[in-house]
Structure 1
């Protein structure tokens, strides 16, 4: 089968399309015939060697790329219940110590990392859900804010931020969204009550002008750190996405969300997407052999929605 791998960390040119044996599912595992694989910022930092330099993955001669997958169950390993060949699924490859990622024609995952795909949703759209949807859901769980509480979401027009707005609104939270001026209509449509344009002034002061005393919590998807912390009330809560969490000044409870594959949570997200309660945004699709082109577009920034590879 064909798969995209990295042998030497570098720019998009480091992505190689190679032929490798079709993986065989072991006990508790499922092989998925990949119909779509999301292209995420974590793929770019993996390709560039940032995760290896940070000690988050061990050195390997060949590194697989890709976390998000949508496809069809091709084969199940011993002991798997709940999935059968021919079933459409979505999943998250959250392990960095395995040789292949989602940029491939077939992918083996633990059954616990999979969920039924959202009914009626095309594979490219479905592939945008696992990583960003689970990150947003798990970040909101860490914040643990009650209905009626106020929440600041930075990077609100991005993949994690957009899902966070919709999921927060479903939990009854009142949201202040931070994004570019051109994204105000979008983030309000996704559930923001208030809007603060990115990079135009003093973020903490701007937020506190809308919510006197500061918001109850912040989900920092843009990794603004102390700039966003200043908008949180004393003894509030703050969650950063994948690193960059500031010191918990003023008694603020600070945490970092490191996403984990979770079949039941993914099934819940899939159900919401099937009912039209979550907005799945695809910026463009590319064939597998144009993965480098997709990464060059990702590196330029400014995307609204995810790039998706279609084997």
Structure 2
């Protein structure tokens, strides 16, 4: 039987939130290294992806859903190197490069840190084709897009409408739908149309007349629609242009359920994350990183995220 690694008390650098709030509440501090429980790996963080849920959670937006224990280290996305393994872990070894959607049952020890402990159910091998920043931007956004499209049963030959197609989730959703063999129509501002064309989507501008513009491209309607932005326009237009309203999904607006659509929440899945890695290494999926920031600039990165109009992903890098 493998003996557990000795526990040595040390302090790592981490971004910490001592109470609910916004970017101004974030501080860089020394924090005790996480313990490595059975079934877990300790990851030396190379990069941590930023997602809007990070600052929404920090403002108390998920307080009704998840137990929270302050001080909080935010973040659920990670890419890094295995530094230690739990006493029963056989899936990974020290030195392995991994990615993870390290969402735990409680909010406390996240990924904006030099080290993070994560259950093996939350991690997968890092795709060799992606650099550290790209790899850190894949887990939450990639899983969200992949699981949404799969739950809507998107298959080869179908036409899919993707809202907010140039964003972190949407840009991955476009590529995943294309990998499934679907035709993709994507909504975005005009400045992002060339970007969507490069990804393989047919771009349309959002705003007044969106339903008509979609119908010009798909006169008989689309087979499925997925909303990655929220708001009345995305949900209502999806209902209008989709042949079967039960094949409309949203990750941002539960009003979709009023006409039989699906309101969806991402689940951690090592298997799905591994499949995303395979798609990346097969040349079918990449992660567009808009900007990277050092760990100490997490507050600045949050302000940029909150301002919107990010193309692809924002990522924190850890030296």
TM bin, normalised by shorter chain, reads over 0.9
Tell me, what secondary structure is at the counterpart of 1:30?
strand
Q: Which runs of 5+ in 2 are unaligned?
A: 1-11
For the residues of structure 2 that align with 1:137 and 1:88, how far apart are their CA atoms?
22
Q: Deviations over 1:136-157 (max 9, x none)?
A: 1100111002321111100000
1:6-21 map, 5 Å: 6-21=17-32
1:1-311 map, 5 Å: 1-52=12-63, 55-95=64-104, 97-192=106-201, 194-199=202-207, 201-223=208-230, 224-249=234-259, 253-311=260-318
For the residues of structure 2 that align with 1:282 and 1:35, how far apart are their CA atoms?
15
Relative to structure 2, which stretch is displaced further, 106-115 or 265-274?
265-274
Q: CA deviation at 1:94?
A: 2.0
For the residues of structure 2 that align with 1:14 and 1:23, how far apart are their CA atoms?
22
Relative to structure 2, which stretch is displaced further, 84-93 or 18-27?
18-27
8 Å CA contact 1:14, 1:47 repeated in 2: no
Tell me, what secondary structure is at the counterpart of 2:70?
coil
Relative to structure 2, which stretch is displaced further, 67-76 or 283-292?
283-292
295 and 254 in structure 1: CA distance in 2 versus 1, 3 angstrom threshold = same
Q: Deviations over 1:21-57 (max 9, x none)?
A: 11111111111010100111111111222222xx122
8 Å CA contact 1:36, 1:124 repeated in 2: yes
For the residues of structure 2 that align with 1:305 and 1:168, how far apart are their CA atoms?
16
Q: Which runs of 5+ in 1 are unaligned?
A: none
For the residues of structure 1 that align with 2:244 and 2:24, how far apart are their CA atoms?
47
- Structure 1 equivalent of residue 5 of structure 2: none
**TM-score calculated relative to the size of structure 2:** 0.90
For the residues of structure 1 that align with 2:157 and 2:43, how far apart are their CA atoms?
41
- What is the total number of aligned residue pairs between the two structures? 304
- CA-based RMSD of the aligned residues comes to 1.7
